[in-house]
């Protein structure tokens, strides 16, 4: 083979191989605005795994009648979105699971190595999504643009150790008009199989208007939604 033919063969081989390299620095056909997909965040996924499943305060209610038996359902949605971990949340009095009193979407993200944030969003039509925790693909008809952010109501969670996350809302940042309140606060602790949650409403003078006066509700998980299920 002549020198010219050897050069031509090498050029052809290089042209064939370059698109397989996957790196835009070496791919002649890559778009200049190409952005590689975000890598999964193992710690964020662990927090989400702690939070997802079917929970109930039945054990607490049996011991202390001041606490009602509440069900808490949390399921992952939009699993392919790289921007964050998204959860659908539904709470109801156990006797009326078909009439939830709270439906939200949480957006979980990381702030730094040991700090996470859970932003809270409202759905456009609550009734249309009752029970949707059992069918997460239903949310594929929605996008984050369809939701309404509850500004100031997100919770900041600190990782205390390998198995415990704890935090809550900032002071007086989450407006609430429920029962004549001025603002609401939330405190939460997340551990494997257990979520403790204390939601309270306050007036302008800082007097508690609604919510538990005996401490946090304790939700124990009775069914876990594994990644293969949801």
Q: CATH fold of 42-223, please? A: Lipocalin (2.40.128)
Q: How confident is the model at residue 55 (pLDDT cuts 50, 70, 90)?
A: very high
Cα separation, 156 vs 120, whole angstroms: 11
How much is the pLDDT for 38?
56
Residue 115 above 90 pLDDT? yes
How much is the pLDDT for 224?
74
How much is the pLDDT for 225?
62
> Where do the structural domains in the chain lie, given as residue ranges?
1-36, 42-223
Return the percentage of the chain with pLDDT > 90, whole number.
75
pLDDT tens, residue by residue, 29-47: 333 343 444 566 899 999 9
Cα separation, 194 vs 97, whole angstroms: 20
Residue 118 backbone class (left: φ over 0; alpha: ψ -120 to 50; beta: rest): beta
Q: What is the mean pLDDT of the chain?
A: 84
- Which residues, in sequence order, are CB contacts of 49 under 8 Å at separation 6+? 227
Residue 3 above 80 pLDDT? no
Name the residue among 98, 101, 102, 47 with its Cα closest to residue 76. 47
- 129 in helix, strand or coil? helix
Q: How confident is the model at residue 223 (pLDDT cuts 50, 70, 90)?
A: confident
The predicted model gives 104-125 an average pLDDT of 95
The predicted model gives 80-85 an average pLDDT of 88
Q: How confident is the model at residue 208 (pLDDT cuts 50, 70, 90)?
A: very high
């Amino acid at each position: 083979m002549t020198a010219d033919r050897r050069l031509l063969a090498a050029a052809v081989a290089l042209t064939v191989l370059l698109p397989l390299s996957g790196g835009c620095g070496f791919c002649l056909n890559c778009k200049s605005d190409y952005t590689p997909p975000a890598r999964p965040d193992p710690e964020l996924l662990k927090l989400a795994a702690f939070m997802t499943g079917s929970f109930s305060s039945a054990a607490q209610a049996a011991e202390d009648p001041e606490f009602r038996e509440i069900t808490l359902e949390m399921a992952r949605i939009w699993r392919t979105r790289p921007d964050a971990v998204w959860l659908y949340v539904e709470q109801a009095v156990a006797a009326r699971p078909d009439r939830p009193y709270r439906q939200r979407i949480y957006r979980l993200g990381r702030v730094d190595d040991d700090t996470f944030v859970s932003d809270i969003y409202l759905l456009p039509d609550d009734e249309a999504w009752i029970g949707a925790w059992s069918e997460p693909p239903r949310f594929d008809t929605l996008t984050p643009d369809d939701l309404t952010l509850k500004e100031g109501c997100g919770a900041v969670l600190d990782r205390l150790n390998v198995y415990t996350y704890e935090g809550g809302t900032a002071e007086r940042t989450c407006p609430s008009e429920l029962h004549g309140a001025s603002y609401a606060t939330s405190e939460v602790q997340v551990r494997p199989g257990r979520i403790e949650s204390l939601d309270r409403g306050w007036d302008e003078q800082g007097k508690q208007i609604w919510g538990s006066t005996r401490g946090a509700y304790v939700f124990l998980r009775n069914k876990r939604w594994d990644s293969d299920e949801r």
